[in-house]
Structure 1
C-alpha cells in the first residue's frame, strides 16, 4: 500500500474516483436531496471544493494504491470543521474503493499519512455515515504516533456529526 501525491496535471484521476465517492454518499441521502442528482451527461457534478485543492498551498491530494493499483484517494487541507477556522491538518475527503475495504488499506493509508505529516489533526464525519463513524476511531487509535484522541460533536453551524481531534507525532 502506497500513497502517491497527485499533481494538478493528473487531476482527472481524483475527478474520476470522486464519481464513486459521491455515488457512495448518494445512498445515505434522502431522496428529496438534489445534491446527488445526475447531470445531463449521466455523471455527478464535481466534488464540492475540488477546485480549491489545486489552488491551496496547504492542500495535499493523494492517490491510495494497493500493489500499484488505484484503490482510492485522500485530500488533506487545513480547514477546521469545529469553528470554520484552521487546523494544522484536516482529512478533507477520504475514499477507498469497495473492493479494497475491510482489508486494512484505509488503516494503512491513514498510518502512512499521519507518519508523513505530524501535527494537530481533525477528521470530521457526516452524521449519516455510519460506516465512517465506526472506521475512523478505530483507524486513528491504531496509528502508533497518535495521542490525545478526543471526539467532539459538530455545532451544526459548521458541521453536523462527530469530529475526531488528535495529535500525530
Structure 2
C-alpha cells in the first residue's frame, strides 16, 4: 500500500469541498451538527480561500495506491506563526485502521520540520488516541499533551518537534 500526499490545486478545490462534507458528517458524533432541509451539511466554503491565497497554508489530498483517501490541511498557526498546525485532517472510513493517517502525518512532518501542534476535540477520545500514536511514530515519547482554548473552544493540543525522519 502506497500512501502519497499531493498538493491540492485550486482547480481541484471542489473535490476538497465535497470530501469536507464527509468530514463534517464524521464530526457530528462530537459536535452535534445537523443537516439542512436539503439533507446537506452546510458550511462556509470560503474558509478554504486562504489555502490558495497564502503560502503558509498548504492543502493536500491523501491518496492510497492512486485512490483518493482524504485530505490534510496544513498551516502556520495564526496565533503562533512559528508553529505548524493541522487545521483539518480526514481519512475516509474505508482506509481507517490501515496506517494511512499515520503515514500521511509522517510525510507532512518530514516536509515541514520544526514545531508542530495538533488540536483535538475533548470529546473525541478516539482521535486523541490516534494522534498520540501517530506522533509517537515520528518522535517517540518526545511530545506533550495540554488543554487550551482554540479561539473559544477548549481542546487538547499535542505539541512536538519534527526534524524529518
TM-score calculated relative to the size of structure 2: 0.87
Match of 1:152 in 2: 146
Q: Secondary structure at the match of 1:95?
A: strand
Structure 1 residue ranges, 4+ long, deviating more than 4 angstroms after superposition: none
Given candidates 17, 28, 36, the residue that maps to 1:15 is 17
Match of 1:54 in 2: 52
Q: Secondary structure at the match of 2:154?
A: coil
Match of 2:106 in 1: 111
- Extract unaligned runs of 5+ from structure 1: 31-35
Q: Distance in 1 between matches of 2:66 and 2:133?
A: 26
RMSD value, Cα: 2.0
Equivalence map 1:15-164=2 (5 Å): 15-30=17-32, 36-46=33-43, 49-79=47-77, 84-143=79-138, 148-155=142-149, 158-164=152-158
Change (3 A) 1:156 1:4: closer
Q: Secondary structure at the match of 2:129?
A: helix
TM-score calculated relative to the size of structure 1: 0.85
Q: Distance in 2 between matches of 1:69 and 1:140?
A: 24
91-100 or 159-168, which moves further after superposition?
159-168
Q: Distance in 1 between matches of 2:44 and 2:126?
A: 20
Query: How many residue pairs end up in the alignment?
Result: 160
